[in-house]
C-alpha cells in the first residue's frame, strides 16, 4: 500500500514540485464525488420525508430513486459533476490515477447518465438512506416523524462530516505530505478527531429527538437509540452504514 501511494505521488507531481494535471484531475474527481454523494442522500431523503408528511401520496419508498423530483435533482448534480471532470481531466490524467475508470467518460459519461462514479455514489446514497429510514409513517404519528426527520438530518451531516476529513487525508497522501497508506487515514490524529466529533454530533441529534420506543416504532436499522448510534458516537447501524458508504465512494474516487 505504501508503494502504491508513492507511485501515485510520483505520477501526480511534476519535476518542479507543482501540481500536475493528474493531481488537478484527482481533486476534481474528489469534489465531484462529494457533490454526487451529498446530493444523492439529500434527494432521496426529501422524497422519503415527503412520503411521511403526506405530500407525496401513493408513492412507495422503493420508487424514490425514479420519482420525478428525485431524478431531476440527481440529473442536475450529475451534470455538474460531468462538467467539473471535463474541465479538469483528460484521459491521460485519469490513466495516471487509480480511480474506478481510466477515462473521463468512464467516470461520468458525456450525457451524465452513466459512469462508475454515478453507480457507486448512487448505491452508497441508497444504502445510507435505507439504513436511516423505516416504514411509511401515518398521519398523527408526530413523535415518530420528529424522530425520523432528526435521524435523516443527522445522518446526512454525519456522512458529509466523515467523508470530508477522509478526502482531505487522501489528498495529502497524493501530495506526498502523508507517507502512510489510505487505510490508516482514520488513525491520523486530526482526521480521527474530526471523525469522533461527527459521531458525537449525530448521537446528540438522535438522542435529543428519539426514544427507544419511537425508534422501535419506525423500524429503521435498529430498535433502540444506542443501536442506531452509541453514546460514544463510534458504533451502531447508522455509523456502519455511513462508514461503508463513504469507504465505497472513496475507493471509487481514489482507488483502494
Instruction: Supply the range of the domain harboring residue 207.
Output: 2-254
At 28-76, the pLDDT tens digits run 999 999 999 999 999 999 999 999 999 999 999 999 999 999 999 999 9
Q: What is the pLDDT of residue 8?
A: 52
Band (pLDDT 50/70/90 cuts) for residue 16 is very low
At 95 the pLDDT is: 95
pLDDT more than 70, % of the chain: 93
The pLDDT-based confidence of 19 (bands split at 50, 70, 90) is low
| Number of domains forming the structure of the chain | 1
User: Which grid coordinates are listed for 72?
Assistant: 431531476
pLDDT of residue 175: 87
How many Cα atoms occupy the beta-carbon half-sphere of 1 within 13 Å? 13
Which H or E run contains 193? helix 189-209
Q: Tell me the C-alpha distance between 91 and 73, whole Å.
A: 28
* Mean pLDDT on 85-102: 97
For residues 61 and 130, the answer to whether their CB atoms sit within 8 Å is: no
Give the separation between CA 7 and CA 103, rounded to whole angstroms: 19
Q: Is 207 exposed, middle or buried (0-12, 13-18, 19+ CB in 10 A)?
A: middle
Per the CB < 8 A criterion, the answer to whether 143 and 47 are in contact is no
102 in Cβ contact with 94 (< 8 Å) = yes
pLDDT band at 15 (very low <50, low <70, confident <90, very high): very low
Please give the pLDDT value at position 20. 85
pLDDT tens for each residue of 151-207: 999 999 999 999 999 999 999 998 899 999 999 999 999 999 999 999 999 999 999
* Euclidean distance between CA atoms 19 and 53, whole angstroms: 49
| Alpha carbons 214 and 207: distance in angstroms, whole number | 11
Whole-prediction pTM: 0.91
Q: How far apart are CA 131 and CA 250, in angstroms?
A: 19
**Residue that has been written with the C-alpha cell 419508498 in this structure:** 61
CA-to-CA separations, 123 to 56, 61, 176, 179, 245, in angstroms, rounded? 23, 15, 31, 31, 8
Q: How many residues does the chain have?
A: 256
Q: What is the pLDDT of residue 174?
A: 87
Amino acid at each position: 500500500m505504501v508503494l502504491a501511494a508513492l507511485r501515485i505521488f510520483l505520477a501526480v507531481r511534476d519535476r518542479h514540485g507543482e501540481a500536475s494535471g493528474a493531481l488537478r484531475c484527482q481533486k476534481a474527481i474528489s469534489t465531484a464525488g462529494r457533490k454526487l454523494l451529498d446530493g444523492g442522500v439529500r434527494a432521496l431523503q426529501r422524497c422519503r420525508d415527503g412520503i411521511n408528511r403526506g405530500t407525496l401520496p401513493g408513492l412507495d419508498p422503493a420508487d424514490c430513486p425514479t420519482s420525478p423530483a428525485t431524478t431531476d435533482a440527481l440529473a442536475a448534480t450529475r451534470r455538474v459533476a460531468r462538467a467539473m471532470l471535463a474541465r479538469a481531466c483528460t484521459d491521460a490524467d485519469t490513466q495516471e490515477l487509480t480511480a474506478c475508470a481510466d477515462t473521463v467518460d468512464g467516470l461520468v459519461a458525456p450525457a451524465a447518465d452513466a459512469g462508475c462514479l454515478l453507480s457507486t455514489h448512487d448505491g452508497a446514497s441508497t444504502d445510507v438512506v435505507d439504513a436511516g429510514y423505516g416504514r411509511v409513517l401515518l398521519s398523527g404519528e408526530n413523535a415518530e416523524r420528529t424522530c425520523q426527520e432528526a435521524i435523516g438530518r443527522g445522518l446526512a451531516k454525519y456522512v458529509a462530516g466523515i467523508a470530508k476529513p477522509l478526502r482531505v487525508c487522501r489528498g495529502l497522501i497524493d501530495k506526498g505530505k502523508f507517507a502512510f497508506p489510505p487505510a490508516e487515514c482514520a488513525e491520523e490524529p486530526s482526521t480521527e478527531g474530526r471523525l469522533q466529533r461527527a459521531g458525537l454530533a449525530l448521537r446528540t441529534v438522535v438522542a435529543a429527538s428519539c426514544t427507544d420506543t419511537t425508534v422501535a416504532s419506525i423500524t429503521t436499522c435498529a430498535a433502540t437509540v444506542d443501536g442506531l448510534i452509541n453514546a460514544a458516537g463510534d458504533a451502531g447501524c447508522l455509523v456502519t452504514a455511513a462508514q461503508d458508504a463513504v469507504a465505497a465512494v472513496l475507493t471509487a474516487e481514489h482507488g483502494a
